[in-house]
């Protein structure tokens, strides 16, 4: 059994009520695999399939787009059975989000090396996302959750040679993959958690978060932390090189109107956390929202 399995089973055991019923729901082969491993390790009764009155339902997701995650206490990605990843754990079952950092890093670490070849065509969209956001020359621009650094060259272009560009990510292999691109545009790279940024209050002129905020467990906490480090009048660019509807369809899901990036939801979340939404654009080929720090 790999460390990954140990880690994921450990989180599920912490969430499973002693002597309760745990239902593992999802594609039968993967659900049975998880059930078998959980049975061997925990006192709860572990069954497969949907069970209405289970104490804990664990939904298994695979790469086949078969994962409906609604109402599950936990979601486990078994797209690669040698690299299980916990994708969701209801905070009512295990308070806090201790699980989140290890699981997010495990998810992105194995994707880092292939990221640019898989998504290389998106680079012009990053250029436009930054160039259209009204950043001023000479400032500090942060790319939070920078991944392989695809936004670093346009951020350098926007702030010019007198500005400073910093890419930040918590997944070490992503930063390794970003190193060459960062060096080429004189950007610094920092390994840190987006929820606890290692920068003083009000120092950034612009923050770009591409494909980041929806991954974080507490959206208000994340937007508040981005606001903390941004000066009054500074910009926040929320970006994804695919529109919300296109992305949902790609993952076999429908759009959730309560989703953070839905326009009214986002506008309200931004205004609660120190921002005002300036522009919002969500056609099939991109998601792009710009906010100003109040």
Residue that has been written with the tokens 């497969």 in this structure:
48
What is the C-alpha R_g of the chain?
Answer: 20
Instruction: Lay out the sheet containing 74-77: strands in order across.
Output: 45-48, 21-25, 56-61, 74-77, 85-89
Site string for ligand SAM, 130-169 (x = CB under 6 A): ---------------xxxx-x------------------x
Contact between 106 and ligand SAM per CB under 6 A: no
Nearer to ligand SAM, 28 or 120 (CB): 120
Q: Minimum distance from CB of 170 to ligand SAM (Å)?
A: 4
In sequence order, which residues have a C-beta less than 8 Å from that of residue 33 and are 6 or more positions away?
Answer: 78, 81
Count interface residues toward ligand SAM (CB under 6 A): 19
Q: How far is CA 265 from CA 21, 81, 89, 145, 219, in A?
A: 35, 36, 22, 22, 11
Nearer to ligand SAM, 45 or 246 (CB): 246
Nearer to ligand SAM, 36 or 220 (CB): 220
Q: What is the largest CA-CA distance in the chain?
A: 63
Contact between 171 and ligand SAM per CB under 6 A: yes
Q: How far is CA 164 from CA 53, 76, 128, in A?
A: 55, 39, 19
Residue closest to ligand SAM, measured at CB: 147
- Region binding ligand SAM by CB under 6 A among candidate stretches 14-22, 54-62, 211-219, 263-271: 211-219
Nearer to ligand SAM, 45 or 224 (CB): 224
Contacts to ligand SAM by CB under 6 A: 104, 108, 145-148, 150, 169-171, 174, 193-195, 210-212, 215-216
């Amino acid at each position: 059994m790999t460390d990954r399995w140990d880690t994921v089973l450990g989180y599920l055991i912490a969430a499973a009520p002693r002597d309760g019923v745990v239902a593992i729901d999802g594609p039968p082969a993967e659900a049975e695999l998880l059930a078998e491993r959980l049975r061997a390790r925990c006192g709860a009764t572990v069954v497969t399939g949907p069970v209405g009155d289970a104490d804990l339902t664990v939904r298994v997701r695979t790469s086949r787009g078969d994962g409906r995650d609604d109402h599950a206490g936990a979601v486990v990605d078994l797209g690669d059975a040698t690299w299980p990843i916990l994708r969701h754990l209801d905070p009512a079952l295990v308070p806090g989000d201790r699980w989140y950092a290890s699981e997010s890093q495990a998810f992105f670490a194995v994707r880092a090396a292939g990221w640019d070849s898989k998504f290389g065509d998106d680079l012009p969209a990053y250029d436009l996302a930054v160039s259209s956001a009204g950043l001023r020359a000479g400032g500090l621009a942060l790319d939070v959750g920078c991944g392989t650094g695809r936004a670093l060259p346009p951020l350098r272009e926007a702030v010019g040679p007198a500005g400073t560009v910093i890419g930040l990510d918590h997944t070490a292999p992503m930063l390794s993959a970003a190193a060459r691109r960062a060096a080429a545009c004189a950007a610094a790279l920092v390994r840190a958690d987006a929820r606890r940024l290692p920068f003083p209050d009000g120092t950034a002129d612009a923050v770009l978060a591409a494909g980041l905020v929806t991954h974080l467990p507490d959206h208000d906490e994340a937007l508040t932390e981005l606001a903390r480090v941004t000066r009054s009048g500074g910009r926040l660019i929320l970006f994804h090189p695919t529109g919300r509807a296109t992305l949902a369809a790609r993952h076999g899901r429908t759009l959730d109107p309560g989703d953070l990036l839905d326009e009214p939801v986002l506008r309200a979340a931004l205004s609660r956390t120190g921002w005002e939404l300036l522009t919002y654009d969500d056609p099939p080929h991109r998601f792009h929202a710009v906010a100003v720090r109040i």
